[in-house]
Amino acid sequence: MIESIIKFSLIDNKNFHDKLETLSTSVLHHKTMKNVYQSLQEPVDASNSVFVTLKTGSKGKCYYPFFLREPFSLKDVDFCSLIDPVHLEQLKDRKLIPLVCMLSENWKLFNCEPNRIFRNSPYFNVINQLEKHNIREEDVVWLTCNKYHVQDPRVKSKFIHFDFFLEQQKVLPNKFLPLTEIKHRYLSMARGVPRHHRFAMTYLLHKNELSKHGAISCADYENFSYQGSAETTDDYIKKLTHFDPSSFTKFKSILPLVIDSNTTEIVVPEHESYQSPINLHQDGRDESHLFQNVFMNVVNETHHPDDLVFITEKTYRSINYCRPFVINGDSGSLKYLQEMGFKTFDKFWDESYDTDDDHTKIIKICKILESVCTMDIKDLQTLYQEMLPILSHNYNLLKQYEQWNKLN
């Protein structure tokens, strides 16, 4: 890994974020504000973790970071009152640059629909609080994971794209992971936050009898709808071509599926109800054991019913652990990676799914898996060797990726 050349510096404002974390109803004076603060369950963005060990400069720009997880609950929260008075004066006097870091989630910050009021956009929940303390909008720099922000003259802040999850995987000390033995043709992990597309993918793997070829995890079934939508999980899955009620009922009965945490081998055990921490991605742990003996990864990404593109560690660990992948997630995900310099696998299978709707995408991915699952192990090893230049390119790019210089 190449060490970044960093000229900028960051104010150590841990005290500010500690105060933000510990906001409680005990410091409030009326019920309305109590409800506001109760909604701030995780106010500090997890992206502060990649800044902790950062070796900053001393002669360049100096930023005051605001690690804010989301903008919605901040409308009536005077978070600037938590700033050290000396730092607050420096922000007002433009001696420090306010840096809003909102990197671990991809939020829709602007109301651009014809029937929405632009000034009521979530973006202004943050800006209005800063301006109350005479911190100018045009001085604010936003560091976000959204590469495709709205260009609008009514927005005066500067936006910088920064991929937090890329950086999170980049700093892991793992070496290139060769594929020496194939025990499972694919890996499909879907035990994170329950989402319609994750259940749909796992159902189709079950229905098409592909589950016996893969290492699969999936959360216990939940029939729910997203905020602002009446469509339930059942409704979503029933839209799949050749939906079968009988196989769907059986599918729900076998959940949750767990990848065994008691060994370093990936296995698909019988039905288990416990929560296995080995399927999770947190804490910077080495997850090479999950990829050691699998040919490819089915990435069940974080996917919201909106037009944003959000790539997380779920995709980047495929690159970090040197496996080909398909992405069950936002349309445009492969295009995003290609724009970042990574290579995908259109020479080996149909990647037109990247521009399709959810249901067409899931069906096309399953067709790719059907083809992979019919190949014998020897042919898969040959295919892996043909893909090796792409896997090596992606791994090396990840480990050498430079984005801190955007702040210089």
Q: What is the pLDDT of residue 283?
A: 60
Q: What is the pLDDT of residue 31?
A: 33
Q: What does the pLDDT average to over 19-34?
A: 51
Q: What is the pLDDT of residue 4?
A: 74
* 106 vs 4, higher pLDDT: 106
- Residue 124: which residues within 8 A CB-CB, separation 6 or more? none
Task: Express each pLDDT in 146-168 by its tens digit.
Answer: 999 888 999 999 999 999 999 99
Phi, psi angles (nearest 5°) of residue 368: -60, -45
Task: Express each pLDDT in 345-400 by its tens digit.
Answer: 999 999 999 999 999 999 999 999 999 999 999 999 999 999 999 999 999 999 99
Q: What is the pLDDT of residue 284?
A: 65
Q: What is the pLDDT of residue 112?
A: 84
By three-state DSSP, how is residue 140 classified? Answer: coil
Report the 10 Å Cβ neighbour count for 10. 19
* Burial per residue of 230-248, b for 16 or more beta-carbon CB atoms within 10 angstroms, e otherwise: eeebeebbeebeeeeeebb
Domain 173-400 sits in CATH at 3.40.50
Q: What is the pLDDT of residue 138?
A: 98
Q: What is the pLDDT of residue 337?
A: 98
Q: Return the residue matching tokens 């970090």.
A: 320
Instruction: Please check the confidence at residue 35 and state whether its pLDDT lies above 60.
Output: no
- The CA R_g of the chain, rounded to the nearest whole Å, is 23
Q: What is the pLDDT of residue 97?
A: 98
Q: What is the pLDDT of residue 377?
A: 97
Query: How far apart (Å, rounded) are the C-alpha atoms in residues 349 and 360?
Result: 15
pLDDT band at 192 (very low <50, low <70, confident <90, very high): confident
Give me the residue spans of the domains in the chain: 9-162, 173-400
First to last CA, the chain: 20
Q: What is the mean pLDDT of the chain?
A: 89
Q: Would you mind telling me the total number of residues written for the chain in this entry?
A: 408
User: What is the share, in percent, of the chain residues with pLDDT greater than 70?
Assistant: 89
Q: What is the pLDDT of residue 29?
A: 33
